[in-house]
Amino acid sequence: MDFGFTAEDEAFRAEVRAWLAEHAETGQDRRVWERTLGKAGWIGLGWPEGGYGNRTVGLTQQVVWAEEYARSGATPRSGHIGENLLAPTLLAHGSDEQKNRFLPPIAAGEELWCQGYSEPGAGSDLAGVRTKAERASDGTYRVSGQKIWTSLAHEADWCFVLARTEPESRRHHGLSFLLVPMDQPGRIDVRPIRQMTGTSDFNEVFFDGAHARVEHVVGGEGAGWKVAMSLLGFERGVSTLAQQIGFAAELGRVVRAAVRSGAVDDPVVRERLVRQWAELRVMRWNALRTLGSPGNAGAPSVAKLLWGGWHQRLGELAMQVRGAAAGVGPVAWSPSAPYELDEAQQLFLFSRADTIYGGSDQVQRTIIAERVLGLPREPKGAV
């Protein structure tokens, strides 16, 4: 069930590998790295339209790029939200003016984006958002409310925000998809969230009358739910295969740790290691099976259920194979290093959230039940 890569694909692979070997360095400044990628034409390969400063390639070459990028160990991307989420959404729902304004800076790596969806009272239940966008006398919107778990908000230039533009509207009605500039001191406050790992990958974002222009509403006022759901369909694609390469590298480290500690002699541990390997292969085959097959309502939910639980179990296994040593940090405690974690401990703690963020397992199962299996919808008010 693997792709049959052509000679042209392999030539492209050689080009990608050589370029990454020359330019990719771990720990590079992420904004500078985005501009380097953009200048070389590596951003926007999967967009169905060219002409925005990007070049387009076929599906197999998109897979080649994603795989080689993951293998290279290059700096993690900070432009993927704009490239892989907003850009396809604009291509599907945006006006020509919006495409011409926003796609070239994304392709050039000049403008970074974050996603303003989840709220304290509306995480997986996206239809419950309470952030408001009210029309001002000058024709612009004033956005007020709070978003949470906003990845890269501390780096982003822009945020696409799902907000309620129709007063007193409920659920998925009366929502709009607005493009909001982040550089608004006094109107937008970004507060990093410290996680169990000690890092701050996510943020709270507070909007206090932040300005958004009328021409920056995607799909028209009131069409926010349709646009937001369309965007979620772009959230899993070629990048899933690159993610799995990262998973394979993590699994390899856990196997080596099991050999070093002697845990591999335990038949239960061996069975768990083999199961992790087998399930990872199944995830790859499922990704290849569904790649390039639009309209499969359950595919994103199935993919999320597969990798979320798998990665969480891998984190648990990473601790199990090390035994008591897993509870000891990599360096002695000191006032300057009060909370140091090694790679396996980071994996364990961060993966606890895998079955929650991006849509919890419960929400994914509900989507499959209702949209794929055709089971009755949950009654309103059900707990």
By annotation, the residues acting in catalysis are 235
Instruction: Give the dihedral of Cα atoms 308, 311, 316, 319; nearest 10 deg.
Output: -150
Helix (H) or strand (E) holding 63: helix 59-72
Give the tokens for residue 3.
């792709």
44 torsion bin: left (phi>0), alpha (psi -120 to 50), beta (else): left
Alpha-carbon gap, residue 71 to 135, rounded angstroms: 48
Alpha-carbon gap, residue 300 to 279, rounded angstroms: 17
DSSP label at residue 170: -
Cα–Cα nearest to 317, from 361, 363, 256: 256
- 299 in Cβ contact with 290 (< 8 Å): yes
Cα–Cα nearest to 93, from 223, 222, 213: 223
Alpha-carbon gap, residue 112 to 35, rounded angstroms: 10
DSSP label at residue 57: -
- 118 in Cβ contact with 147 (< 8 Å): yes
DSSP label at residue 265: G
Alpha-carbon gap, residue 263 to 323, rounded angstroms: 8
- 152 in Cβ contact with 86 (< 8 Å): no
- 276 in Cβ contact with 248 (< 8 Å): no
Instruction: Give the dihedral of Cα atoms 267, 270, 275, 277; nearest 10 deg.
Output: -170
